[in-house]
Structures are given as C-alpha cells and as structure tokens.
C-alpha cells in the first residue's frame, strides 16, 4: 500500500498573479489557509489532511482548487465547496473556481499522518489495510467487535471495544 501523503502535492513554480492591491498570496500560504478548513462531517480533520484537496493553482487572476470527494455520492460535497470558497474569500481571494475531479478516485491512502492521528485522538479509528481497526481509539485494546458495517456516515463503520465497552466509529479503508 502506498504511504499516506504527508503534505500537499507539489506546488507549481509559477508566481502568483499581481492584483490591483499588490501580489496575490503564494500557493504555500493558500495551502496553509485550506489546512484550516475542516471536513463538515468530521470537523477534527482538515480537507487537506483528509486528502480531498488535490491541487491549487493560479490561472490568470483566478485561483483554481481541485477537489476529489471521498466518494462520488458524498452528501457533504456542496458544503465542502462552499466552505473552501468562503475561507479563500475571507483571505481576500476574489476569483475562486472549485473543480471536482473523480479520477483517480479518493482513497484512504491520501490521509496524512497528521490526519490519521487527529481521527484517533477524536475517537475515530483510522483506516487499516487489515479491514478493521487495529485498536480501540479510547483505551488501545485490540479486543474489538464490529457492530455494523455502517456508522454515523457512509464512510465509517461502527465497532465496539470489548475491554472498555465503548462503541466507536472506524473510518473504512477505501
């Protein structure tokens, strides 16, 4: 399995455009702003750490952000687009275009290590190639039982720890 992405994809070397108010922000700064935009269904993780923001590029005086949803029927897609645009406009970006790219499809391999740690700290077991959580995100026990293949959102399953008896979500490996 490929390693999880630990930072945004390579940034184009082209300088940001000049505007009437001076030079537009560089892409590294924009990636940092986007790293503060939380996923609407799992607000403990940013869209960058979730791996759904695939590219950010200036095209003329317009900023183009390319997003890959976690799955094509994701009910939060419209909210995600609005949250990205709202965050960028709050930082003075006037022209924003959000593009959806569904190929290649999103995979849990795109979660950053920081994102995986945030999920676990929040109480959601991060995805595991074994097809189930490695340990309880609350007590660390490996004695687990799957309660349901479906959890609070379609991308999660419901599990229960046999040691601490607490239920928890597991972010499915996709």
Which residue carries 């702003």 as its tokens? 33
Is residue 85 located within the same domain as residue 129?
Answer: no
Is residue 27 located within the same domain as residue 79?
Answer: yes
Residue 75: inside a domain, yes or no? yes
**What value does the mean pLDDT of the chain take?**
87
CB atoms within 10 A of CB 60: 8
pTM of the model: 0.80
**Of 109, 134, 151, at which residue does a domain stop?**
109
Is residue 81 located within the same domain as residue 105?
Answer: yes
Residue 114: inside a domain, yes or no? no
Residue 12: inside a domain, yes or no? no
pLDDT tens-place string over residues 93-128:
999 999 999 999 999 999 999 999 999 999 999 998
**Of 55, 80, 109, at which residue does a domain stop?**
109
Is residue 162 located within the same domain as residue 105?
Answer: no
pLDDT tens-place string over residues 65-85:
999 998 888 889 999 999 999
Is residue 104 located within the same domain as residue 45?
Answer: yes
Residue 40: inside a domain, yes or no? yes
What are 66's strand-pairing partners? 55, 99
Torsion, Cα 44 159 172 149, to 10 degrees, reads: -130
The count of structural domains within the chain is 2
pLDDT tens-place string over residues 12-28:
435 556 544 567 899 99
Q: 100: domain range?
A: 18-109
């Amino acid at each position: 399995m490929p390693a999880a992405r630990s930072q945004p994809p390579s940034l184009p070397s082209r300088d940001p455009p000049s505007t009437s108010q001076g030079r537009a922000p560089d892409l590294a700064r924009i990636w940092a702003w986007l790293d503060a935009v939380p996923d609407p269904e799992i607000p403990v993780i940013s869209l960058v750490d979730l791996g759904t923001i695939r590219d950010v590029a200036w095209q003329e005086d317009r900023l183009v952000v390319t997003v890959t949803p976690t799955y094509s029927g994701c009910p939060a897609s419209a909210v995600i687009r609005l949250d990205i645009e709202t965050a960028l406009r709050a930082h003075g970006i006037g022209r924003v275009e959000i593009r959806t790219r569904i190929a290649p499809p999103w995979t849990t391999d795109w979660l950053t290590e920081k994102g995986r740690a945030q999920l676990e700290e929040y109480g959601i077991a991060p995805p595991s190639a074994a097809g189930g959580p490695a340990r309880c995100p609350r007590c660390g026990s490996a004695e687990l039982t799957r309660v349901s293949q479906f959890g609070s959102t379609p991308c999660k399953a419901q599990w229960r720890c046999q040691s601490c008896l607490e239920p928890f979500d597991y972010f499915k490996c996709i």
